[in-house]
Amino acid sequence: MKSCDYQQIDPQALRTPTPQPPAHHGGGTGSEKPEQPRRPRRKWEVFPGKNRFFCDGRVMLARQSGVLPLTLGLILVTSVLFFIFDCPFLVKHLTTCIPAIGGVLLVFVLITLLQTSFTDPGILPRAMPDEAADIERQIDNCGNASYRPPPRTKEVLINQQVVKLKYCFTCRMFRPPRTSHCSLCDNCVERFDHHCPWVGNCVGKRNYRFFYTFIVSLSFLTAFIFGCVMTHLALRAQGGKGLVFALQESPGSAVELVICFFSVWSILGLSGFHTYLVASNLTTNEDIKGSWSGKGGEDVTNPYSHRNIFTNCCSVLCSPFPPSLIDRRGFLPADVPAQSSGVAVELLAPASKNEKNM
């Protein structure tokens, strides 16, 4: 069988078509009605992935985002009960800084949660029809006439480590390194970490830093509320009154105690796990699959690690914010029908030729 090099589909080389105003022709009989100009359509209106869009395409969510309201509800209910039942007592008996600290933590948690949920995680544009046909032609032409197994992987060298790139049959391109196709969102996502139903979105290259700061700040908020509730109930139970009396005096604290007790351990564990991933420059997907653990007996190392915890943390959390590669608010050409088979791939052309792909 012949060997063949496969060329990576570069969606960045594509130009976003600019909508042209409909042409008006003069003349004709008076009985002919002028053609009504069609409303320019945004690309998000025919987006091929399983996403939902709001605010004219500015906000995007996974279609299966039903757990996000539960996440917001648990955070808000617990915090509201804390400010109503615990803060007045603690301000009177301890310090006025307690509601201020709780408020700052709550605002930070909500901001990072919404950033994680509404940010493009790093979706890659799908291949254009001509490019997809070209790469399929390259794949089919490799080999002899009698036996032609389709090679669906290619190897690249990254920091002296061989990395295999897999072919995505949905997006019809070889996935860049660390990219994976999310079956729930039906998109290829750069530096794919995992799909998180609690935030209603994939976690990838563009929103991982928001996700990490969200779970860390949520750990601080949950632990802070839990400690304040315990202190509140302990102070009320002084003088032989007992815990039952304290709970009767502050029934909202009992609800907070249950929610925080069962959530603080899982949130702290999740924060610790992702702190390890950040320090190692790994993703959840790579850690679960054991991509760089050498489980198969191969001598492999993580080619993305800088061999320094501080450098890895800065690389993951403090690197320049990458641009979005999908032009979801761009306009479709006026002559493209809504049900055209080419729309599903054409609408994902990048907004700028200067944006870089992995």
CA distances from 291 to 57, 117, 286, 297 (A): 35, 27, 5, 12
| Phi, then psi, of 226 in degrees rounded to 5 | -60, -45
Q: What pLDDT does 164 receive?
A: 85
Burial 89-127 (b: 16+ CB within 10 A, else e): bbeeeeeeebbeebeebbebbbebbbbbbbbbbbbbbbb
Q: What pLDDT does 11 receive?
A: 44
13 pLDDT above the threshold of 50:
no
Q: What pLDDT does 36 receive?
A: 58
Query: Each residue of 296-318: pLDDT tens digit?
Result: 556 678 889 888 999 999 999 99
SS (H, E, C) 285-349: HHHHHCCCCCCCCCCCCCCCCCCCHHHHHHHHHCCCCCCCCCCCCCECCCCCCCCCCCHHHHCCC
Q: Which two tokens stand for residue 292?
A: 């760089």
Catalytic residue among 196, 202, 228, 260: 196
The most confident of 107-116, 179-188, 238-247, 330-339, by mean pLDDT: 107-116
Q: Which residues contact 83 (CB under 8 A, 6 or more apart)?
A: 99, 102, 103
**CA 357/CA 26 separation, integer angstroms:** 46
Q: What pLDDT does 199 receive?
A: 92
355 pLDDT above the threshold of 50:
no
Place of tokens 């605002």: 107
Query: Each residue of 25-83: pLDDT tens digit?
Result: 544 455 555 555 567 788 888 888 888 888 888 888 888 777 899 999 999 999 999 99
Instruction: Specify the higher pLDDT residue, 123 or 236.
Output: 123
Average pLDDT over residues 124-128: 83
Confidence of residue 204 (pLDDT cuts 50, 70, 90): very high
CA distances from 105 to 75, 206, 222, 298, 317 (A): 11, 23, 10, 45, 19
268 pLDDT above the threshold of 80:
yes
> What kind and span of H or E run contains 116?
helix 97-118
**CA 20/CA 41 separation, integer angstroms:** 12
Q: What pLDDT does 275 receive?
A: 96
Average pLDDT over residues 248-275: 89
Q: Which residues contact 330 (CB under 8 A, 6 or more apart)?
A: 16, 42, 43, 347, 349, 351
State yes or no: is 313 an active-site residue. no
Identify the CA nearest to 40 among candidates 327, 325, 326, 329.
329
Average pLDDT over residues 181-205: 92
| Phi, then psi, of 280 in degrees rounded to 5 | -100, -5
Confidence of residue 142 (pLDDT cuts 50, 70, 90): low
> What kind and span of H or E run contains 260?
helix 251-280
Q: Tell me whether strands 153-158 and 161-168 are parallel, antiparallel or unpaired.
A: antiparallel
CA distances from 306 to 41, 61, 276, 302 (A): 45, 33, 14, 9
Place of tokens 């061989």: 162
Instruction: Specify the higher pLDDT residue, 353 or 10.
Output: 10
Residue % of the chain over a pLDDT of 70? 75
